[in-house]
Structure 1
Amino acid sequence: MDNKLQKMLLLSVLLLHQFTRSTAFLIPRDPDCTNSDNETIEPSEKCSSMLHFQRNLGKYRNFFANLLQEENEQFAAELQELYNLVSSALVEHDYNEMQRQFFYSVWLVERTKDLEDYLDMKGFRTI
């Protein structure tokens, strides 16, 4: 999975949080996507971006916090939402909820015009 798609997936997770209370918007749990301590087992392509997200939550949180300090008017609401979702995922112990947040962030980036380009320009790919 390319890095650009991983970034989009992370950001859409952040938007899913508001939809989790709706029974019409349920994300089924994938039993193949578990965080294994066995480093000899390679995660599937589908799960690798989720595991990357879990391992780098602190970096993502700092990244969005720094962008919020710049007070960007164009993406202020989206950046605040992304920061809130990553912060929530950082302390989340429920894997299903973390997965919902992940897909929500991807959705947010995909639906927000020019947000992906803005994040890339700010160095999102280096996380």
Structure 2
Amino acid sequence: MTRSPRDLVAAADRLLTPPPGTMATLTPGLRARAAAALLRLALDEAMDDFWRSVSPRMVHSRGRTKALCLEYVSPSVARQWYAVWSALSAACHHHTYELPPTPAEVRAWHADVTELLRSMPPTPAPSRP
């Protein structure tokens, strides 16, 4: 079952700001890393949704390839998407010698992802024969 990008962003938000009275069983660093993973997945799903409507075969390409091709449609969105996607990818990979991303960093990426979802190019209407 796939979730919409907005559902994934909402789930990341719930991880970053649990409801009052909820016992925090996860450390803030673990919550931040999990939220970063959800945000990156939201970016991937949004990009797949876009390409599925434009050229379904592009869905099977790698993330960098999709971003490079998006440069021809919307250069500014493509650059911002790749910058945020790269930062989230780095945050999602656990290394024993690195600290997890801080909740503040992930909240900033959350704002970036929310903005990117709003600014993704509209999917073109199907052409009529």
Same-fold call, TM cutoff 0.5:
no
TM-score grouping bracket, smaller chain normalisation: 0.3 to 0.5
Q: Mark the structure with the bigger radius of gyration.
A: 2
TM-score by length of structure 1 reads 0.40
User: RCO greater where, 1 or 2, for CA within 8 Å and sep 6 or more?
Assistant: 1
TM-score by length of structure 2 reads 0.40
